[in-house]
């Protein structure tokens, strides 16, 4: 049994941040989870899908984040608790709905987890999603550690339900993807049934709704004033304090300790960052003359704090604020304890023991002296390599300076040497075909370069279809190449509408890309990119034609295949295996000697090491007792 299902309140377990968020949702009795995969949020819905049957949760991979939020909102309207999780870009996708559901309000608790990716480690942009909370007048919580990730998520459902508003939780990569201690809470008994009542319309009396929304936000502020997620540590009457939130909390503590400033510098940690608990904060600023604000990416807290200080200037007097605006901390990239320590040291006139500014360059130089530079590349056997080679060849043969507009997926690295520098634009999901639409209509201005839009299969369903329809009705000269590798590969092979299975691994109907194209009325061909010379010829031929055309390069990601093979997991039935009584003399672990089979000392039986086993199954055919058994592919 995994930690997600563990019914041992008070027990401390190690959890990934995303798992802690999922566990918090489970402890809140979440009923419905809809999401689109995106790093670093993916493991939240994945975790919930894994225990969906155990806790009677409906879990789905939606076609995109907008649909996910809409579907989850329906569950909320029907009185259920629902969660959507997405990476920062996903918030943009669903923002249109978000900017109206705030006005209509909701019923059952609805939590939107926005997992930001500072430094864009796995993203096409760096974005601070917290501004959406301020923009949409919605409550925002920022967990600072793993325990808070769980506890805040649970509380977010209560806040949401109480206010009748979606509640946003902001995570970041370092929280979502690292692991820490989490003390488990109780698993609830779920009793909700779904029933829709009432009216949820945004647009009937918008101004009045907007005014009511502002009132709800004031209510949220009241709620936040007493939240246990806001607290202060440090000397009683510190003149200098750090005000921080989210990941900044641990970085700040470490920096203060590293500089030996525990007795002088206090830390005011805010968990409810929108709306700010103003009274609570003001109470902690009575003796303060200087503040350093530590947060990750945008100066969101900093700006809101400055507004508060301006409003309270009569009470508080002048307070110096250090942070992004003052230049002490960057408003981009990941935060870390060194950056905070350096800021602190420079403000306080201290010598920092943190690493010097050139550390990274020096480390790089040292490493490069004996490690060759390795550019991002496709896996061995990756179909994208063949597809991009075919595209490159066809464009070169065509000779009209044709180019590729790129999109979001594994193939994005085709902008570099892995894809022979073919991709010339990359923006958001579906952005490639959208741009190609425009290029394809520039002929009257002397434009004669052919344009190829590449797009992954998952991206096709997510965001490319409206642009393809647009290309059709406006007869734009564009060749779209769908790089169909059979799943959402980059985020870990989640299924999509073409995959034939759902989030829980059950069979599902498929929506064929070529049928969508045919329905739209564009010419479509399906080819295997590994048949490379045919692929080149087809792309070349299609480049000679006008209007919208689609080539589907279809070949399964070999990692998906490998994963499916791995899913064929073997185990030793320790009842059927009778150990040394068998007479086989431990054939499997001793004679056949596969490292995937070990001898279980405790049970005195054979055992499969699931980490090492590749699922070849040969041992199962050799065991004289038939004790090595294949687990069902999906179970």
Partner 1 sequence: MKAGKGSSDLEQEVLSQGLCTSCGACVNICPYIKVVKDKVAVIEPCGLTEGKCYDFCPRTLTDIAALDKSVFGKPRTDSSLGPYISIEMAQAKDSEVRCRAQYGGVVSALTKYALDTGEISNAVLTKPFDGAMMPASVLVEENSQVLECAGSNYIASATLARMNEATKQGKDSIGLVGIPCQVLALRKMQSSKHETGARGVKLVIGLFCTWALSYKGFSEFLRGKVDLSQVKRIDIPPPPANIMVVETAAGDIRFSLDEVRRFIKPTCNVCFDMTSEFADISVGMVEGVEDWNTLIVRTPKGKKFIEKAKKAGVINTKPLEQTRLDHLRGASFIKKKRAVDAIQKRTNDKKNLLYLRLSAQEKKKFL
Residue 398 contacts partner 1 per CB under 8 A: yes
Long-range contacts of 494-498 (CB under 8 A, 24+ apart): 494/37, 494/42, 494/46, 494/61, 494/458, 495/61, 496/61, 496/63, 496/457, 496/458, 496/461, 497/63, 497/461, 498/457, 498/461
Nearer to partner 1, 392 or 559 (CB): 392
Stretch that binds partner 1, among 153-161, 274-282, 388-396, 442-450 (CB under 8 A): 388-396
Of 93, 85, 134, 143, nearest in space to 114 by CA: 85
Of 64, 17, 24, 379, nearest in space to 186 by CA: 24
Residue 416 contacts partner 1 per CB under 8 A: no
Residue 537 contacts partner 1 per CB under 8 A: yes
- Residue from 210, 279, 355, 396 touching partner 1 (CB under 8 A): that is 396
CB atoms within 10 A of CB 515: 12
Phi, psi of 233 (to 5 degrees): -125, 145
Neighbouring residues of 343: CB distance < 8 A, sequence distance ≥ 6: 292, 294, 322, 328, 329
What is d(CA 536, CA 527) in angstroms, rounded to the nearest whole number? Answer: 10
Least separation in angstroms between CB 398 and partner 1:
7
Tell the residue number behind the tokens 């991009």, with chain if given: 388
Stretch that binds partner 1, among 96-104, 172-180, 443-451, 538-546 (CB under 8 A): 538-546
Nearer to partner 1, 399 or 446 (CB): 399
Residue 401 contacts partner 1 per CB under 8 A: no
Nearer to partner 1, 215 or 546 (CB): 546
Stretch that binds partner 1, among 229-237, 274-282, 540-548, 555-563 (CB under 8 A): 540-548
Residue 420 contacts partner 1 per CB under 8 A: yes
Nearer to partner 1, 159 or 535 (CB): 535
Least separation in angstroms between CB 399 and partner 1:
6
Least separation in angstroms between CB 540 and partner 1:
4
Residue 540 contacts partner 1 per CB under 8 A: yes
Residue 523 contacts partner 1 per CB under 8 A: no
Kindly give the pairing relationship between strand 231-233 and strand 265-270. antiparallel
Kindly give the pairing relationship between strand 179-183 and strand 12-16. antiparallel
Residue 399 contacts partner 1 per CB under 8 A: yes
Least separation in angstroms between CB 451 and partner 1:
18
Nearer to partner 1, 387 or 393 (CB): 393
What is d(CA 425, CA 432) in angstroms, rounded to the nearest whole number? Answer: 7
- Residue from 397, 473, 616, 618 touching partner 1 (CB under 8 A): that is 397
Contact 152, 27 (CB under 8 A): no
Nearer to partner 1, 235 or 416 (CB): 416
What is d(CA 521, CA 256) in angstroms, rounded to the nearest whole number? Answer: 64
* DSSP letters for 75-109: HHHTT--EEEEEEHHHHHHHHHHHHHHHHH--SS-
What is d(CA 450, CA 448) in angstroms, rounded to the nearest whole number? Answer: 6
Of 385, 389, 482, 405, nearest in space to 449 by CA: 405
Residue 195 contacts partner 1 per CB under 8 A: no
Nearer to partner 1, 125 or 377 (CB): 377
Residue 514 contacts partner 1 per CB under 8 A: no
**Which two three-digit tokens encode residue 374?**
């390795």
Stretch that binds partner 1, among 230-238, 261-269, 350-358, 529-537 (CB under 8 A): 529-537
Residue 393 contacts partner 1 per CB under 8 A: yes
CB atoms within 10 A of CB 205: 12
Residue 394 contacts partner 1 per CB under 8 A: yes
- Residue from 544, 601, 621, 635 touching partner 1 (CB under 8 A): that is 544
Residue 480 contacts partner 1 per CB under 8 A: no
Alpha carbon distances (Å) from 271 to 111, 387, 458: 16, 47, 35
- Residue from 392, 496, 554, 555 touching partner 1 (CB under 8 A): that is 392
* Contact letters for partner 1, residues 265-294 (x by CB under 8 A): ------------------------------
* Binding footprint of partner 1 on the chain (CB under 8 A): 392-394, 396-399, 420, 533, 536-537, 540-541, 544
């Amino acid at each position: 049994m995994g930690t997600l299902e563990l019914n041992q309140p008070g027990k401390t377990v190690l959890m990934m941040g995303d798992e802690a968020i999922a566990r918090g949702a489970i402890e809140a009795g979440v009923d419905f989870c809809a999401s689109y995969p995106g790093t670093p949020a993916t493991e939240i819905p994945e975790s919930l899908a894994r225990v969906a049957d155990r806790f009677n949760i409906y879990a789905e991979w939606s076609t995109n984040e907008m649909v996910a939020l809409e579907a989850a909102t329906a569950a909320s309207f029907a009185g259920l608790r629902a969660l959507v999780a997405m990476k920062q870009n996903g918030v943009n996708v669903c923002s249109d709905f978000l900017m109206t559901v705030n006005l209509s309000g909701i019923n059952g608790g609805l939590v939107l987890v926005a997992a930001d990716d500072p430094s864009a480690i796995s993203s096409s942009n760096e974005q601070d999603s917290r501004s959406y909370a301020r923009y949409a007048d919605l409550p925002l919580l920022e967990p600072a550690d793993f325990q808070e990730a769980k506890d805040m998520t649970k509380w977010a459902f209560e806040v949401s339900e109480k206010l009748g508003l979606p509640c946003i939780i902001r995570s970041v990569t370092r929280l979502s993807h690292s692991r820490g201690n989490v003390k488990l809470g109780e698993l609830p008994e779920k009793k909700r049934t779904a029933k829709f009542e009432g009216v949820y319309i945004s647009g009937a009396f918008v101004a009045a709704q907007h005014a009511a929304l502002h009132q709800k936000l004031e209510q949220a502020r009241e709620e936040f004033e007493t939240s246990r997620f806001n607290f202060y540590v440090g000397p009683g009457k510190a003149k200098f304090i750090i005000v921080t939130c989210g990941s900044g909390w641990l970085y700040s503590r470490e920096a203060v300790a590293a500089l030996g400033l525990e007795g002088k510098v206090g830390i005011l940690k805010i968990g409810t960052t929108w709306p700010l608990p103003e009274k609570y904060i003001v109470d902690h600023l009575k003796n303060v003359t200087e503040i350093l604000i530590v947060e990750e990416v945008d100066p969101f807290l900093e700006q809101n704090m400055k507004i508060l200080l301006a409003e309270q200037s009569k009470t508080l007097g002048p307070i110096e604020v250090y942070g992004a605006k003052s230049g002490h901390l960057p408003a981009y990239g990941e935060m870390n304890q060194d950056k905070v320590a350096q800021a602190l040291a420079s403000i306080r006139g201290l010598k920092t023991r943190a690493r010097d500014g050139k550390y990274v360059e020096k480390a790089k130089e040292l490493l490069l002296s004996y490690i060759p530079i390795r550019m991002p590349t496709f896996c061995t056997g990756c179909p994208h390599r063949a597809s991009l080679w075919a595209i490159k060849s066809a464009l070169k043969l065509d000779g009209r300076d044709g180019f590729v507009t790129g999109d979001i997926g594994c193939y994005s690295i085709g902008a570099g040497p892995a894809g022979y520098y073919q991709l010339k634009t990359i923006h958001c999901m579906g952005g490639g075909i959208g741009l190609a639409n425009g290029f394809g209509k520039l002929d009257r201005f002397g434009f004669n370069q052919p344009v190829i839009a590449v797009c992954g299969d998952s991206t096709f369903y997510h965001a490319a279809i409206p642009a393809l329809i647009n290309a059709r009705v406006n007869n734009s000269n564009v060749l779209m190449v769908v790089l169909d590798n059979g799943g959402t590969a980059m985020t870990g092979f989640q299924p999509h509408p073409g995959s034939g299975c759902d989030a829980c691994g059950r069979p599902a109907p498929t929506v064929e890309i070529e049928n969508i194209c045919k329905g739209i009325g564009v010419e479509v061909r399906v080819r295997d990119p590994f048949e490379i010379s045919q692929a080149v010829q087809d792309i070349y031929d299609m480049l000679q034609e006008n209007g919208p055309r689609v080539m589907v390069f279809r070949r399964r990601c070999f990692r998906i295949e490998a994963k499916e093979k791995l899913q064929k997991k073997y185990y030793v039935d320790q009842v059927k295996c009778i150990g040394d009584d068998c007479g086989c003399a431990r054939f499997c672990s001793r004679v056949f000697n596969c490292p995937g089979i070990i001898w279980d000392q405790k049970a005195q039986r054979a055992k499969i090491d699931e980490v090492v086993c590749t699922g070849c199954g040969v041992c199962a055919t050799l065991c004289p007792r038939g004790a090595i058994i294949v687990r069902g592919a999906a179970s």
